[in-house]
Chains A and B, each alone.
Chain A
Amino acid sequence: KNEVEQSPQNLTAQEGEFITINCSYSVGISALHWLQQHPGGGIVSLFMLSSGKKKHGRLIATINIQEKHSSLHITASHPRDSAVYICAVGATSGSRLTFGEGTQLTVNP
């Protein structure tokens, strides 16, 4: 079992829909990261959070430390949001990141 589990693995939505991607982890963490990987392959860091909630444009990330769970929400989804979204956790000991397997999001027009 991975230390970081994401769900769903694949998600197809219609443009305008509200999207939620979930991440659960089993280790103690200092921070949780949400990354986006576009079809071209580049990886971009969307959020880094250790508590509460962060918002950037149409993207919202929340984390519940007690429940070891984080969600990434996309409001008013758009085809350009189609990408793989990856959850990663930074352990309390050391600087490594441990990754989830990613969620492939496809937003259709």
Chain B
Amino acid sequence: DTAVSQTPKYLVTQMGNDKSIKCEQNLGHDTMYWYKQDSKKFLKIMFSYNNKELIINETVPNRFSPKSPDKAHLNLHINSLELGDSAVYFCASSQVTARSQRGLYEQYFGPGTRLTVT
């Protein structure tokens, strides 16, 4: 059983298009994340949702809009794609419980979506 799944795995599109990446987790976790991994393999947080509520929003262009219809899903919609958006996008989930345990959580990653903008 796949814990964190993403679709599509590969996405090739032209500049200016709008595209979405979907993420689903069946772990019952309450927090989900989107990360971007650039060509140098550096991972950076983009967004985080806890129980459908946005809790982390890094300095990401507002062409990127996350949507969480329920706590098992976190989708990423990208408008007006640019060449610099080419990267691998990873979804992850974790169970962030009590305030005292903040940070003591294991994250489970999806397989990644390789986005290529031409």
Contact = CB atoms under 8 A, between A and B. Distances in A.
Interface of A: 29-31, 33, 35, 37, 41-45, 48, 50, 84, 86, 88, 90-99, 101-102, 104
B43 interface: yes
Q: How large is the interface on B (under 10, 10 to 19, 20 to 34, 35 or more residues)?
A: 20 to 34
Q: Taking each of A35, A91, A95, A96, which has the highest tally of chain B beta carbons within 10 Å of its own beta carbon? A: A95
A96 B34 CA distance: 11
B15 interface: no
A87 B59 CA distance: 22
Given A91-B103, A95-B96, A102 B56 contact: no
Contacts of B111: 41-42
Interface in B53-90: 55-56, 88, 90
B25 interface: no
Determine chain B's interface SS by DSSP, over half rule: strand
B45 A50 contact: no
Interface of B: 31, 33, 40-45, 48, 50, 55-56, 88, 90, 92, 94, 96, 101-109, 111-112, 114
Contacts of A35: 109
Contacts of A92: 102-103
Contacts of B50: 95
Contacts of A98: 45
Contacts of B96: 95
Given A41-B88, A43-B92, 12 more contacts: A29-B103, A30-B103, A31-B103, A42-B111, A44-B109, A48-B105, A90-B104, A93-B102, A95-B31, A99-B42, A99-B44, A101-B42
A90 B105 contact: yes
Given A95-B31, A95-B50, A96-B56, A101 B40 contact: yes
